Amino acid sequence: MPVIKISGMSCAHCTGSVTKILQATPGISNISVTLDPGQASFDAAPEVNLDQVKDAIRKIGFDPQD
């Protein structure tokens, strides 16, 4: 289960935005996005490219940590 630390989230709308991006990514399921700590965890199929997932999170204004 990948876990991506994310900075810049400050409210439920922020976690909802990240959740929507992850839900739109084929091969990702069982998504959990939390403010404290700021992170997203999910199940990912082998074909999921985590760098592309992080890029999608950046495009909506948040900072996924490597």
Which pLDDT tens digit goes with each residue over 9-56?
999 999 999 999 999 999 999 999 999 999 999 999 999 999 999 999
- Fold of the 3-64 domain: Alpha-Beta Plaits (3.30.70)
Altogether, the residues listed in the chain come to a count of 66
In the structure, what pLDDT confidence band is assigned to residue 66 with cuts at 50, 70 and 90?
confident
Q: Is 45 helix (H, G, I), strand (E, B) or coil?
A: coil
Q: pLDDT digit string (tens) for 38-48?
A: 999 999 999 99
Domain ranges of the chain: 3-64
